[in-house]
Structure 1
Amino acid sequence: MTTLKHKVLNYYKQQTEDRIDAFRDMIAELTSDAANDAKGSAGDKHETALSMMHLEQEKLNHKLGEFIAQKGILDKINPDAKTTKVAVGSLVKANAMYLFVSAALPKITIEGVNIIALSPQSPLGAKLIGMEKGFEFEISGTKYLIEEIQ
């Protein structure tokens, strides 16, 4: 049975894989451009262009590393795991919204349900870890009630 949690996890995994592929393609293209540029150019403009390409490549490698780390977190999540306490991989319904404790990822909508993915290191994520259904807490002046944990 494909649950909402399965769909959320699969969606986020696909999104991170797509971004990893896109960043790898951009890095490969920059590497190719730099190699081609090195064959036919000389002088200060050439050095500046190569430096700019190198800086851009470093930025892309950094972003690629972030997405690989996020994918690593998602890959460790077992969507069939049952738990009574909030942990990494939990899909938590609180205040009629769904929070996916995993990695800081963009908000998504699946089957008309808004999902917010948050890191366990975020203020809200840190507060949620270890809580059980029915627990109430407050963060930044907003009171939350944990209605469901998947």
Structure 2
Amino acid sequence: MISNIELKRQLHQHCLGYIEDRFKTIQNTINDIQESLFSETKSSAGDKHETGRAMLQLEREKAGNQLSEIQKVKEAFSKIDISKNPKVIGLGSLVYTTKSNYYIAISAGEIKFNDHIIYAISPKTPIGKLLMGKSCGDTIVFNDAIFTITILI
């Protein structure tokens, strides 16, 4: 049986890996776009060439914005202290409810560890907003379902 603190540590590591993978994917996209911009030679169809370059510039800008967002997520995530045993739900909390279990950190989807299914969610998600500041025994209503917080780690 895995301890609660070890489970929380593994969840934290999983989310960190998720952030790193996302960061690398965006970096690779930017590098590919840069390469395309530098390797594209002016063709005899000048307008077509300029349109292609403009599209690549837009893609690079979009990827740059994504990179900026993931850097903000990474910075906020680095401030999570998983050693805390909170009395109220906050960033880094592991929350068990009568319906589902949540790790309040980043939106990384469903995570399976042994016999545990936990959803990594951002505190900015609709369910995250409802959970923040609550404590054991509190009840929330989400999508017409009633949840009671049973364990808070």
In the alignment, is residue 67 of structure 1 matched against residue 82 of structure 2?
no
Matches within 5 A, 1:36-115: 36-37=39-40, 40-42=41-43, 43-95=46-98, 97-115=100-118
Residue 122 of structure 1, CA deviation: 2.4
Compared with structure 1, are the counterparts of its residues 49 and 70 closer, same or farther at alpha carbon in structure 2 (3 Å cutoff)? same
In the alignment, is residue 20 of structure 1 matched against residue 28 of structure 2?
no
Residue 123 of structure 1, CA deviation: 2.5
Aligned residues: 148
Contact 2:18 2:108 in 1 (8 A): no
Partner letter of residue 90 of structure 1? S
Gaps of 5+ in 1: none
In the alignment, is residue 135 of structure 1 matched against residue 138 of structure 2?
yes
Match of 1:145 among 132, 138, 148: 148
Distance in structure 1 (CA, Å) of the matches to 2:147 and 2:134:
11
Distance in structure 2 (CA, Å) of the matches to 1:121 and 1:26:
27
TM-score normalised according to structure 1 size = 0.88
Contact 2:92 2:105 in 1 (8 A): yes
Distance in structure 1 (CA, Å) of the matches to 2:68 and 2:106:
14
Contact 1:9 1:74 in 2 (8 A): no
Gaps of 5+ in 2: none
* Per-residue deviation, residues 23-58 of structure 1 (Å, max 9, x unmatched): 111101211220121xx3141121111111111112
Residue 18 of structure 1, CA deviation: 1.2
Residue 73 of structure 1, CA deviation: 2.3
Partner letter of residue 140 of structure 1? N
Partner letter of residue 89 of structure 1? G
Partner letter of residue 65 of structure 2? H
Aligned-residue Cα RMSD (Å) equals 1.8
TM-score normalised according to structure 2 size = 0.87
Give the % identical residues. Answer: 25
Contact 2:15 2:106 in 1 (8 A): no
Three-state SS of the structure 1 residue aligned to 2:146 is: strand
Structure 1 residue ranges, 4+ long, deviating more than 4 angstroms after superposition = none
